[in-house]
């Protein structure tokens, strides 16, 4: 697929605890680029496998993993402070069902994850690249959606959320054109936030300011 990076590495300063966690815990919880992912070996068990792309500082991913210890979670984030912060929280909370990648999500999907392997893919508040000339850098493009679809199991869920209305409309357009996906809220309809998606501090602040949030829930054909 044509690959324009959807991110820029805008790394801020890492705290001592973030750097320490990244240095110490990456060998245990990190997955290096190009390494094929075998979930049974990685987690030493068979369990539903869920992927969050762009987990930021890891608040939602941590909350989901704590609430559902019966599931396995993969998280992708390119910004080292966020990876370090989540590793620190994994250690503090003795979490065992998260593994992390600090690499381009499109390359991870294309080279490290097998087809029909994920129970869900979550993409919460990706960079909106709000200027029109930058829209080509938005991660939600037809080729990306086709890639996600191939990695989902039959019946797997693709859950997206954004607080940019024009991006939400574009997401709806792209996903609705993918024949292997079905909108669980009905054609053209956005979903109410499911309880499975935690509300982050960023989102709470936006809601207080009157910002909208749009969720999209699409299911892969069960065949």
The yes-or-no answer on residue 127 being catalytic is yes
Which residue is associated with the tokens 């490290």? 112
Q: In Å, how far from its chain's centre is CA 137? A: 17
How would you class 132 by CB atoms within 10 Å of its CB: exposed for 0-12, middle for 13-18, buried for 19 or more?
exposed
Strand 181-183 with 98-101, pairing: unpaired
Strand 181-183 with 118-124, pairing: unpaired
Given the residues 127, 163, 166, 215, the one annotated as active site: 127
| Spatial contact of 31 and 42, defined as CB atoms under 8 Å apart | yes
Distance in angstroms (rounded) separating the CA atoms of residues 178 and 216: 14
Q: Which residues are catalytic?
A: 127
């Amino acid at each position: 697929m044509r690959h324009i990076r959807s991110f820029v590495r805008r790394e801020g300063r890492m705290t001592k605890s973030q750097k320490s966690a990244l240095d110490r815990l990456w060998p245990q919880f990190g997955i290096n680029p190009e390494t094929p992912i075998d979930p049974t070996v990685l987690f030493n068990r068979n369990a539903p496998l869920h992927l969050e792309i762009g987990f930021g500082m890891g608040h939602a991913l941590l909350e989901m993993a704590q609430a559902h210890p019966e599931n396995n979670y993969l998280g992708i984030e390119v910004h080292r402070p966020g990876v370090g912060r989540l590793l620190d929280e994994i250690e503090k909370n003795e979490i065992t069902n998260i593994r992390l990648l600090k690499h381009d999500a499109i390359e991870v999907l294309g080279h490290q994850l097998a087809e029909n392997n994920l129970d869900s893919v979550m993409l919460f508040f990706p960079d909106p690249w709000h200027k029109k000339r930058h829209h080509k850098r938005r991660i939600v493009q037809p080729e990306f959606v086709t890639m996600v679809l191939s990695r989902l199991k039959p019946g797997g869920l693709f859950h997206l959320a954004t607080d940019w209305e024009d991006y939400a409309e574009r997401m709806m357009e792209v996903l609705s054109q993918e024949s292997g996906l079905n909108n669980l809220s009905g054609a053209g309809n956005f979903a109410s936030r499911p309880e499975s998606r935690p509300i982050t501090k960023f989102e709470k602040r936006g809601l207080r300011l009157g910002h909208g949030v749009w969720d999209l829930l699409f299911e892969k054909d069960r065949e």
